[in-house]
Amino acid sequence: MAKIAIIGTGYVGLASAVGFAHLGHDVVGIDIDKEKITKLSRGKSPIYEKDMEVFLKKSLKKKKIQFSTDYSKVGSSKFVFLCLPTPQLEDGAADISFILESSKMLSRHLKQSSTIVIKSTVPVNTWKLVKEKIDRDDVAIVSNPEFLREGTALQDFFKPDRIVVGSTDEVKAKEVSSLYKAKKAKIVFTDNTSAEIIKYASNSFLAIKLSFVNEIAAYAESTDANALEVLNAMGLDKRIGKDFLKPGPGWGGMCFPKDVSALKESAREKNVPIPLLDAALESNLKTHARIVEKCKKALGGSLKDKKISVWGLSFKANTDDIRFSPAISVIERLILEGAQISSFDPIVKSVENLSMKVSADIEQNVTGADAIVLLTEWQEFKEIDPKEISDLVTQKIIIDSRNLLNKNKWEKAGFTFIGNGYN
């Protein structure tokens, strides 16, 4: 077993801390947010993540995990994981100030011959800047990007497709990879810089793939084709792969928009721009707008003073994260068109700076609605019986941007059902 410190207990840091503790390591999670640390020490997860509290409570009980705001607690740790945020700056570049400030603060506390492991998504060559800040020849710097998805973070931690370890020190690289005890995962040993790019390139490729999927959905709607049939057949080609082929209101979350912009900016700085990234970002905005146009068309060409019931606020199902949520972007556009919004989300119960009503339940949400727009694919929406709400709405119209619901069931209840990618 190893002594591990996790600096930053957000989505990635907490999943890593709880994951490593569950594997039997001795973990200390460190964060500047006192309230968050208090909650975590009491076994309360500040984020909505399946099984997180179960695993957290188990490891607290076994005294395999502790939380603190005190950086000196890293003193006994052999591995110190940097899981700090790298938010997007105005120009799209990643803000690595938290990483660098943390590195500077950590240096004097680090144990002899310990290893700094950079898990945060960082621009190329950040590892060199961290090494400068740590300024200790006995401390190795290993780049170990994460590929956790919100909503399945622990599952992805325990069963990763691959573990990427970038380092000039082979011994340290092997030590870091062995912490995961992931027998089935492919371990990729590479250099630090390649490891940094692997993360950005992976996320950017997935975002480009989704932008293309949504453009195929738009094109199919201009014909009598069904994009879902097209995409299903495409996915049977192993080179394309069946995952990430579902049309939606656009991609979002705290990673894709930030990572695509950061890679775009890094490449531009090196005078090797990647135009596909610009196209993917622009395409994504067009998808948000396309969902609004579908609502407008369904309501006779104008959304002014129309009552729209929005289902879903989080950027995808099974998470409470609304950061860069396509649902919020679509709602902002609907409001700009003069619509009155009443939203409902099974988990997200409030959104700041958005003039809309957040309903407590579906009945309150749909009462008087001129149209319902499903934006997040929560399973709860599949369980709604259209017959039970058909007397509550003003007009029986539903736009399902995720193709989640059963079209026949809703049409049988008298609804005009508009899907995404077919007519």
Per-residue CA distances from 216 to 220, 245, 417 (Å): 6, 10, 20
Shortest gap between Cβ of 243 and ligand UDX (angstroms)? Answer: 7
CB atoms inside a 10 Å sphere around CB 216: 18
Collect all residues with Cβ–Cβ distance below 8 Å to 101 and sequence separation of at least 6: none
Estimate to the nearest angstrom the gap between the alpha carbon of 353 and the chain centroid. 21
Site for ligand UDX in 248-267 (CB under 6 A): 248, 251-253, 255-256
Nearer to ligand UDX, 92 or 386 (CB): 92
Q: Tell me: does residue 20 bind ligand UDX (CB under 6 A).
A: no
Reported as type and span, the H/E element at residue 30 is strand 26-30
**Sheet architecture: strand order including 3-7:** 65-68, 26-30, 3-7, 79-82, 115-118, 140-143, 162-166, 186-190
Among 210, 260, 262, 298, binds ligand UDX (CB under 6 A): 210
Collect all residues with Cβ–Cβ distance below 8 Å to 373 and sequence separation of at least 6: 291, 295, 308, 309, 310, 311, 330, 334, 398, 399, 401
Q: Is 255 a catalytic residue?
A: yes
Site for ligand UDX in 362-391 (CB under 6 A): none
What's the rounded Cα separation, in Å, for the pair 403 and 370? 20
Q: Tell me: does residue 295 bind ligand UDX (CB under 6 A).
A: no
Nearer to ligand UDX, 248 or 346 (CB): 248
Per-residue CA distances from 260 to 37, 161, 196, 215, 255 (Å): 31, 21, 13, 18, 8
Residue 5 token pair: 């410190």
Site for ligand UDX in 316-355 (CB under 6 A): 316, 326
The span of 129-137, 240-248, 350-358, 410-418 binding ligand UDX (CB under 6 A) equals 240-248
**Cross-strand partners of 116:** 80, 141
Among 26, 31, 49, 150, binds ligand UDX (CB under 6 A): 150
- CA nearest to 209, candidates 125, 277, 157, 112: 277
- List, in sequence order, every beta strand (DSSP E) within 167-266: 186-190
The span of 64-72, 76-84, 245-253, 346-354 binding ligand UDX (CB under 6 A) equals 245-253
The span of 18-26, 73-81, 242-250, 266-274 binding ligand UDX (CB under 6 A) equals 242-250
The span of 2-10, 20-28, 238-246, 294-302 binding ligand UDX (CB under 6 A) equals 238-246
Which residue among the candidates 122, 255, 295, 313 is catalytic per the annotation? Answer: 255
Nearer to ligand UDX, 246 or 296 (CB): 246
Q: Tell me: does residue 149 bind ligand UDX (CB under 6 A).
A: yes
Binding-site ranges for ligand UDX (CB under 6 A): 146-150, 203, 206, 210, 244-246, 248, 251-253, 255-256, 315-316, 326
- Kindly list the catalytic residues: 255
